């Protein structure tokens, strides 16, 4: 069978749909790590500063420790919340996905994806899932980034869309395809 081919460009809206379907969080793991590491340091620093300031007052040791611990806890929590808020992912996407023309071939060996000068070949066995919704098809892979194919890439050619999706399902459910001679 000849390869089926589709091409198009992902829009910002397509990329947001891809991200919403694949990410489990709006905050990256690095941001959470640094927020979790820096908050205790800020707390400890605040405890030392407040204890040093309060030690010259007429308060008993109990109240000095209590107030400095309370200020330290509040400083750590506030810093954590501020840091996490600053770390939200505001821009969707990975470099080169928006605006780059993408061509996808469904060949007997698997998917061949081309973006500008970059070509990626993914065998049928590497496909983890194929999710079809009303406006697009989302494909997830083992060891590769997910792929979103918007239905608008097919234009008004519903027959091509059905053939493409049927071949995608056939390859996904039956693993690597052998070319018939």
Going residue by residue through the chain, which has 181 residues, state the pLDDT in tens, using 9 for 90 and above: 566 888 898 888 887 788 777 766 556 667 767 777 888 888 889 999 999 999 999 999 999 999 999 999 998 888 888 877 776 655 555 555 556 789 999 988 889 999 888 898 999 989 988 888 888 999 988 888 888 999 999 988 888 888 898 888 888 776 544 444 3
- The model's pTM: 0.58
At 181 the three-state DSSP class reads coil
Q: How far is the CA of 117 from the CAs of 70, 75, 93, 137, in angstroms?
A: 58, 50, 19, 24
Domain boundaries, the chain: 4-22+95-174, 29-86
* pLDDT of 66: 93
Architecture of domain 4-22+95-174 in this structure: Roll (2.30)
Q: 74 is written with which tokens?
A: 């509040």
Q: Where are the alpha helices (DSSP H) in 23-143?
A: 29-54, 61-86
Give the pLDDT of residue 150: 93
User: Nearest CA to 72 among 97, 99, 48, 107?
Assistant: 48
Q: Which helix (H) or strand (E) segment is 101 a member of? A: strand 101-107
């Amino acid at each position: 069978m000849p390869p089926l081919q589709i091409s198009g460009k992902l829009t910002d809206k397509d990329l947001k749909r891809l991200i919403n379907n694949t990410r489990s969080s709006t905050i990256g793991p690095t941001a959470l790590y640094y927020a979790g590491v820096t908050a205790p340091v800020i707390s400890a620093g605040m405890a030392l500063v407040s204890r040093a300031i309060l030690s010259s007052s007429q308060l008993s040791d109990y109240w000095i420790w209590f107030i400095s611990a309370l200020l330290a806890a509040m400083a750590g929590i506030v810093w954590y919340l501020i840091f996490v808020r600053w770390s939200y992912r505001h821009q969707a996407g990975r470099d080169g996905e928006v605006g780059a023309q993408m061509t996808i071939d469904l060949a007997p060996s698997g998917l061949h994806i081309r973006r500008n000068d970059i070509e990626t070949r993914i065998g049928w066995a590497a496909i983890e899932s194929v999710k079809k919704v009303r406006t697009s098809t989302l494909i997830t892979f083992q060891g590769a980034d997910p792929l979103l194919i918007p239905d608008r890439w097919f234009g008004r050619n519903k027959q091509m869309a059905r053939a493409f999706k049927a071949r995608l399902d056939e390859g996904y459910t039956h693993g690597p395809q052998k070319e018939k001679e």
